Structure 1
């Protein structure tokens, strides 16, 4: 009876994360999803949010990953996350994320003044991504 998960996070740039875990928690469009070993197979679309991975070596060893949407698949104790972009907490450039946040906030205000709904939506997504990266970086 296998009591661990293998967790892979993959982006177009390659593998971002590949470790063994006892638990994974991710936010799907339907709500928060916790996955333990032997979880039933599932495929779920992810929100822009953090993914929490409790490692097998210690209950206190938790990795955090900023995932910008994507798909999570659980099958045969393998959790695969495919995302456009993802970063581990230790790899996040906080200064760059802060600049992206400020740029997105400025773009939102400018787009609102022009009443450009599409640009407001795009800038809002960029803001959520920047805020997610900033929040995950605080777990270090």
Structure 2
């Protein structure tokens, strides 16, 4: 790594705990107006976050993904603070529950005549799909590690 290489200093927390604190090369988060990628020396930035996946890449090249139910992100001086309503690591996600939530949300979207029910179902579908993406990212990372150890 060159001496001029700058890293982001990242803290990712929800109201109950700090889930990650440390350096990373980049962070990708689901901002309200679209996905954003934060790199070192990013301009100051404040964003509302929607439910989705927060991804970080650490200096050793490892990638970690977390489910985020919504929150806020502040970027200033190559420091990123993510404060979420609720966060989950991949090992905390129940795949069967996420699949069931996805099926139920899809059923409501297809059959409910009520806009309010469909709006809630869209949000629940977004959350379920994000949780499943975190599980997929974790599985890909696990397989890459296994290949590297062969």
TM-score bucket of the superposed structures, by smaller chain: 0.7 to 0.9
Shift of 1:27: 2.7
Q: Which residue of structure 2 aligns with residue 116 of structure 1?
A: 114
Cα deviations across residues 93-122 of structure 1 (Å, max 9, x unaligned)? 212211222232334345x1xx22111111
- Counterpart mapping for 1:8-27 below 5 A: 8-27=11-30
Tell me the C-alpha RMSD between the 2 structures: 2.0
Query: Separation in 2 of the partners of 1:69 and 1:95?
Result: 22
Q: Separation in 1 of the partners of 2:135 and 2:75?
A: 26
Unaligned runs of 5+ in 1: none
Assess, with a 3 A threshold, how the Cα gap between structure 1 residues 71 and 99 changes in structure 2: closer, same or farther.
Answer: same
The gaps in structure 2 that reach 5 residues or longer are: 139-150
Q: TM-score, normalised to structure 2's length?
A: 0.78
How many residues align structurally?
Answer: 135
For residues 41 and 23 of structure 1, the distance between their equivalents in structure 2, rounded to whole angstroms, comes to 15
Q: As a proportion of its length, which structure holds more strand?
A: 1
The structure 1 segments of at least 4 consecutive aligned residues displaced by more than 6 Å after TM superposition are none
Please name the residue that 2:144 is paired with: none
Residue 104 of structure 1 corresponds to 105
Match of 2:94 in 1: 93
Once the two structures are superposed, the pairs formed by residues 18-97 of structure 1 within 5 Å of their partners are 18-56=21-59, 58-59=60-61, 61-97=62-98
**2-structure distance, mates of 1:133, 1:82:** 18
